[in-house]
């Protein structure tokens, strides 16, 4: 079993929704990240929410609507170098700090975000 899948049960959907909302507030403030998104952030926010709900053990709505995540493939159109990874990761970890989470769940989520961000690098 994926160790991340117990998070949904531990923290609930509302906390994931808050995390995603805080993340897109950070995106809006970060010029490097903001230029990667269309003007309307709501569709991206919804996709990330559904994706994280699924990753962390909730309903499989993301898969039902969009299929297998294929994160690297879906992000190949954007240059993700270590600097861009850092922008994304800083925004996510800042957002994670704003959500009131049990420490074990927070550490598991941090681990997931760090590994995923590193995996997404497609340019040096």
Whether 110 maps to a domain, the answer reads yes
CB 114, CB 81: distance < 8 Å: no
- pLDDT for the residue numbered 78: 76
pLDDT in single tens digits along all 124 residues of the chain: 567 778 999 999 999 999 999 999 999 999 999 999 999 999 999 999 999 999 999 999 989 888 777 777 676 777 899 999 999 999 999 999 999 999 999 999 999 999 999 999 988 8
Which letter, b or e, does each residue of 105-115 get, where b requires 16 or more Cβ atoms within 10 Å of its Cβ? bbebbbebbee
33, 37, 47, 119, 121 from 65: Cα distances, Å: 25, 20, 10, 24, 26
- Domain of 85? 3-119
Q: Is residue 47 part of a domain?
A: yes
**Number of domains the chain is built from:** 1
CATH number, domain containing residue 52: 1.10.490.10
- Assess if residue 105 is contained within a domain: yes
Q: In what helix (H) or strand (E) does residue 47 lie, and over which residues does it extend?
A: helix 42-55
Does the residue 124 lie in any domain?
no
Is the pTM here over 0.75, yes or no? yes
Residue-wise pLDDT tens digits, 45-66: 999 999 999 999 999 998 988 8
Residue 46 placed within a domain? yes
């Amino acid at each position: 079993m994926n160790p991340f899948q117990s998070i949904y049960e531990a923290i609930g959907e509302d906390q994931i929704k808050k995390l995603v909302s805080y993340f897109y507030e950070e995106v809006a403030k970060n010029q490097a990240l903001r230029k990667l998104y269309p003007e309307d952030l709501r569709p991206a926010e919804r996709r990330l929410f559904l994706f994280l709900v699924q990753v962390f053990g909730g309903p499989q709505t993301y898969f039902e609507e969009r299929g297998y995540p294929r994160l690297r493939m879906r992000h190949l159109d954007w240059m993700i170098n270590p600097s861009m990874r850092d922008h994304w990761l800083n925004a996510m970890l800042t957002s994670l700090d704003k959500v009131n989470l049990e420490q074990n769940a927070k550490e598991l989520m941090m681990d997931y975000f760090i590994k995923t961000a590193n995996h997404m690098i497609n340019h040096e």
